[in-house]
Amino acid sequence: EVQLVESGGGLVQPGRSLRLSCAASRFTFDDYAMHWVRQVPGKGLEWVSGITWNSGNIGYADSVKGRFTISRDNAKSSLYLQMNSLRAEDTAFYYCVKGYGQWLVSAFDCWGQGTLVTVSS
C-alpha cells in the first residue's frame, strides 16, 4: 500500500520560512506527479502546488505564487515544499498527495495524513 509521510510542520512566526518534506514509499515515485494540498482546520481543501514526474512542469495556486517552491528528489522518493514569507492565512494542515499519472492534470489518488503548519507570533 502506498505510503506518504509528511514532516516539517510546526509553529512559525509571520514572515519566516518553513520547509515541508514528504517521504514516499511502496510505489515507483518517479512515475507520478505529486502535489501539496492544504486545509484550514474545519474548512475546505485548497490545492497549493503540483510537480510532474520529471519536474518539467510545476504549478502554484495564486495565493502562494512567488512565496512557495515545490521540488522533488526522485532518487530519495521525496517531495518538498519550501514556504517563505509565511502569513497567518497559510495556517493549515498540509497534505502530500500522489497524482494518478505523470502530469499535473490527474486525480489525487493517495493522500498522506497531513502536517500542521501554524503561523503566529
Partner 1 sequence: QSVLTQPPSASGTPGQRVTISCSGSSSNIGDNYVYWYQQLPGMAPKLLIYRNNQRPSGVPDRFSGSKSGTSASLAISGLRSEDEADYYCAAWDDSLSGVIFGGGTELTVL
Q: Which residues bind partner 1 (CB under 8 A)?
A: 35, 37, 44-47, 50, 59-62, 95, 100, 104-105, 107-114
Residue (3 or 14) nearer to partner 1, CB: 3
Q: Closest approach of Cβ 41 to partner 1, in Å?
A: 11
Cell of 88: 497567518
Q: Closest approach of Cβ 75 to partner 1, in Å?
A: 26
| Side-chain half-sphere exposure of 102, counting CA atoms within 13 A | 6
Amino acid at 84: N
Residue (14 or 55) nearer to partner 1, CB: 55
DSSP state of 32: S
Query: Which sign, positive or negative, has the C-alpha torsion 102, 30, 71, 64?
Result: positive
Q: Closest approach of Cβ 52 to partner 1, in Å?
A: 13
CA distance 7 to 96: 10
Residue (15 or 113) nearer to partner 1, CB: 113
- Residue 96: φ, ψ to 5°: -85, 130
Q: Closest approach of Cβ 17 to partner 1, in Å?
A: 23
Residue (30 or 46) nearer to partner 1, CB: 46
CA dihedral of 9, 12, 15, 21, whole degrees rounded to 10: -20
